[in-house]
Structure 1
Amino acid sequence: MDRTALDLPPLPDLAPSAMRLGRRRRARARLTVAGGVFGTVTAAALGLSLFSAADPGIALPAAPPAAFPSAYHTPVQAQPTPGQTPPEKLSDAESARRAQFQQQVSALLDELLPATVTDIRPVADEVSDYRITAGGRSFPVKLSIRPAEGERLQECRNIPAKRMTCEKTDLGGGRIAQVYALAANRPETLGSMVVTRYGRSNVLLSVSPSDTTSAPVSPGQLLTVVRDARFTDLLTYADAYPVQEKSTPVEGG
């Protein structure tokens, strides 16, 4: 991937979103987000395997070449979790490409998430991780788009013992999303998550609770993001030119 990064087409053009973002950002009181370690809503954290055996997926073209304005969101420098595998070493070109992708995601989430979210920042060197601020508190966001050809969504399940509900939603074009509300960190704090397939990739978008407060974004509000055509443009690009390594199966479930 490093050797070919310079030959890849530019990321999707979100300039209209960036213009609206500028107006929206000036209307908000922006808060500084401190880096730190958070518990996040992920399949692994729940002991779930959200994807399983073969599925042909949907073949989709790469996003059209376009330019993108300068960065809006200063990355958060998060402290590594003890025992966690350090981020892979990347070429300068590949690091810049992934950072630009994070800026695209940040700009679009800033456009589409509720106005109660007053700040969003990418996490440096962690392409799938972001931090949002709402009500003066920081919450982890994850957007994972991993190559996983041949996998499919598992059954959408409600698990009362884990305070987890799942609703299946038709996204059109033969695509299905699973929309989750689920407890994380502690039984009384809920997170939101949407899981789907796109082309050859597994897609997970989640907002986790803080230590004491449920996620400020509902499952339905996350689904609104996933349905947006500009979000689909980002998926199209990341599916054709991955920004993450190929996924490995999650044990459990």
Structure 2
Amino acid sequence: MGTTEDLYEVPDDRAVRLVRDAMDRTTADLPPLPDLAGAARAQGRRRKARVRAAIGGGVLAVAALGVAGAAALPVGNSGEKVSGVVNVAAPPSSSAPQPPVHIEPTPGESSMADLPVAERTRQENFQNQAVGVLQGLLPESVGTVQRTDLSVRLYQGTKDGKTFTIVFSVRPSGADHTDRPCLEVKGQVCKQATLPGGIRATAATAPINNGDVTETRLSFRYGKSSVSLAVSPHDASNTSAPVTNDQLLALAKAPAFLDLVKTADADPVEQEQTIVPGG
């Protein structure tokens, strides 16, 4: 029968004891150290120490092979080991905000560079959020979405060398604001949809310039703000805005877009809209 000490001995202690016994057995076979003095005695001790170190190193190597074997197991897309031995999540992918597209203001026009530093930083942070949302929700035909340094509401989409101006605005407009009906005149085509919360949104595609190209716009009311999103054509190549009414209405229903609108409605990044009577 084992002793009380044997019953309560943990596996780790037993392993250490076995390694120590193996070291002692191996070094016991070495010839006894001669009664030498000085450097000779030191050399003999170093020899015995090297043997002990070699044995210990072998044990550690076996342990290291076990760890290496677990690390070499195939991983799934989530970064989890298939065997469940190691569960290390893959680091989240993130990309740093890109610098804005510089647009030189016209004479007498102000830009974001004229804002106080704190306000400019706040607006740039909102732009970066907007870029992420718009990039994920607009169709691929719009291309890579970037912010500009001219206005918080001005963005660009670039695809195959063509640049499409994007205007995204969440602007306070007062409690008495009423939406105008979308009239299908002069080639304009309208479509409406109900967003979460019963919000009525309108999308319209209309000819602009000489009527050879079209612009697509989205508009609705949220809280105390007028919300609009417009994608313009690429004039140089005579290419219409590469987005449809249905695509903009689907974007408007997306939770990420509505969360962005909610943020801007609660903490506006634009000045309140002034409505001129009869305008």
Name the TM-score, length of structure 2 as normaliser.
0.61
- Given the alignment, which residue of 73, 76, 81 partners 2:106? 81
**1:107-122 aligned within 5 A:** 107-122=132-147
Task: Give the CA deviation at 1:252.
Answer: 6.9
Letter in 1 for 2:215: G
More strand by share: 1
Matching of residue 223 in structure 1 with residue 249 in structure 2: yes
**1:124-163 aligned within 5 A:** 124-150=149-175, 151-160=177-186, 163=187
User: Is contact 2:146–2:157 with CA below 8 Å preserved after alignment?
Assistant: yes
User: Is contact 2:124–2:152 with CA below 8 Å preserved after alignment?
Assistant: yes
Going from structure 1 to structure 2, the CA distance change for 1:77 and 1:177 (only over 3 Å counts) comes to same
- Given the alignment, which residue of 173, 186, 197 partners 1:173? 197
Pair member with larger Rg: 2
Going from structure 1 to structure 2, the CA distance change for 1:184 and 1:252 (only over 3 Å counts) comes to farther
**1:1-253 aligned within 5 A:** 71-82=96-107, 85-87=109-111, 89-150=114-175, 151-160=177-186, 163-211=187-235, 212-249=238-275
Structure 1 vs Structure 2 CA RMSD: 2.0
Which secondary structure state, in structure 2, belongs to the residue aligned with residue 110 of structure 1?
helix
Which secondary structure state, in structure 2, belongs to the residue aligned with residue 95 of structure 1?
helix
More helix by share: 2
Letter in 1 for 2:157: I
Instruction: Name the count of aligned residue pairs.
Output: 182
Q: For 1:235 and 1:103, how far apart are their aligned partners in 2?
A: 14
User: Is contact 1:206–1:222 with CA below 8 Å preserved after alignment?
Assistant: no
User: Is contact 2:105–2:150 with CA below 8 Å preserved after alignment?
Assistant: no
Q: For 1:97 and 1:246, how far apart are their aligned partners in 2?
A: 17
| Percent of aligned positions that are identical | 36
1:197-225 Cα deviation digits (max 9, x unpaired): 00000000010011111011222212222
- Hey, what does 1:46 align to over in structure 2? none
Going from structure 1 to structure 2, the CA distance change for 1:120 and 1:244 (only over 3 Å counts) comes to same
Which secondary structure state, in structure 1, belongs to the residue aligned with residue 212 of structure 2?
strand
Name the TM-score, length of structure 1 as normaliser.
0.67
Structure 1: gaps spanning 5 or more residues? 1-68
Task: Give the CA deviation at 1:184.
Answer: 1.8
Structure 2: gaps spanning 5 or more residues? 1-93
Going from structure 1 to structure 2, the CA distance change for 1:96 and 1:245 (only over 3 Å counts) comes to same
